[in-house]
């Protein structure tokens, strides 16, 4: 029996490469009334690559982020993330994060819950967690990882758009010394057309590099880190 061909990807994931690997057909169009600093809902598929072009590349979950304008100088992010684990358990994270209307969307107060569900939908109660936290009034140099999905949409497409901050991973683990900066515009070819995409990069201690890909209307289309991609679905 002939062995199945397996070709190593051998390059960093990009939106164009996602198309080649079957992780993306095309991005949804951005509504004309979309405003990064307004009310909106972005829903992403979570897609992973096992390192080969022919197999092992699949959707493993989803992330929905809802932005609501709150009181003056703040807004609220509501999130729901589902990720299927290797043992067919689904980890569901739900939360509400109140953020400052600054460049980093610095968190002010947040509430998160995490649970695991069996394939039949039953919750494993002993694996559930929840927390309610608040930052001090002086904390403005911190960004949450989910908050950056919002913050990057309000940054200018300019080399001067560079932010230094401490990352709050999972809204619980502090990782200092991070930087987010505008890289440049890249063309993405789809259906014979070339679409300009804008790329921001994030580097810092304790994480793999991240790239944030946006369209001309500043809507975040994809977030890519190593072998994982959040791909805008609607």
Q: What is the pLDDT of residues 75-94, one digit of tens each?
A: 999 999 999 987 889 999 99
Q: Is residue 5 a part of any domain in this protein?
A: no
Report the SS3 class of residue 176.
Answer: strand
Question: Please, are residues 131 and 112 in contact by the beta-carbon 8 Å criterion?
Answer: yes
What is residue 44's predicted lDDT score, i.e. its pLDDT? 98
Nearest-angstrom CA–CA distance, 148 and 151: 5
| Boundaries of domain holding 146 | 15-232
Q: What is the pLDDT of residues 94-142, one digit of tens each?
A: 999 999 999 999 999 999 999 999 988 899 888 888 877 876 665 789 9
Is 155 domain-assigned? Answer: yes
Q: Is residue 168 part of a domain?
A: yes
pLDDT greater than 80 at residue 40: yes
Mean pLDDT for the stretch of residues 25-42: 95
39 neighbors 33 (Cβ within 8 angstroms): no
Whether residue 3 lies inside any domain: the answer is no
CATH number of the domain where residue 197 is located: 2.50.20
178-204: string of b/e by CB count within 10 Å (b at 16+)? Answer: bebbbeeebebeeeeeebebbbbebeb
- Does residue 2 lie in a domain region? no
Q: Report if residue 34 sits inside a domain.
A: yes
Q: Is residue 7 part of a domain?
A: no
3-state secondary structure of 39: coil
* Residue 192: band (very low, low, confident or very high) from pLDDT cuts 50, 70, 90: low
Question: How far is residue 31's CA from residue 145's CA, in Å, rounded to a whole number?
Answer: 25
Question: Is 55 part of a structural domain of the chain?
Answer: yes
Q: What is the mean pLDDT of residues 159-177?
A: 93
Question: Which candidate, 159, 147, 156, places its Cα nearest to that of 223?
Answer: 147
Total number of domains constituting the chain? 1
* pLDDT bucket at 197, cuts 50 / 70 / 90: very high
């Amino acid at each position: 029996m002939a062995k199945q061909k397996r070709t190593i990807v051998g390059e960093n994931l990009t939106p164009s490469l996602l198309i080649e690997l079957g992780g993306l057909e095309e991005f949804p169009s951005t509504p004309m009334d979309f405003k990064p600093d307004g009310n909106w809902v972005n829903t992403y598929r979570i897609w992973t690559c096992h390192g080969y072009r022919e197999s092992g590349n699949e959707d493993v979950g989803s992330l929905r982020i809802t932005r609501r304008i709150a009181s003056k100088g703040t807004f609220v992010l509501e999130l729901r993330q589902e990720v299927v684990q290797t043992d067919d358990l689904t980890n569901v994270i739900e939360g509400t994060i109140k953020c400052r209307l600054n460049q980093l969307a610095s968190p002010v107060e947040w509430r998160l819950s995490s649970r695991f569900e069996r394939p039949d939908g039953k919750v494993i109660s002993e694996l559930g967690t929840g927390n309610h936290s608040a930052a001090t009034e002086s904390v403005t140099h911190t960004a949450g990882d989910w908050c950056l999905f919002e913050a990057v949409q309000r940054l200018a497409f300019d080399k001067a758009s560079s932010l230094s901050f401490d990352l709050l991973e999972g809204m619980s683990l502090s990782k200092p010394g991070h930087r987010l900066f505008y890289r440049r515009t890249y063309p993405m070819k789809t259906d014979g057309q070339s679409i300009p995409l804008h790329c921001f990069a994030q580097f810092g201690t304790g994480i793999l590099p991240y790239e944030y890909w946006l369209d001309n209307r500043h809507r975040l289309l994809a977030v890519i880190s190593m072998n994982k991609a959040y791909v805008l679905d609607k």
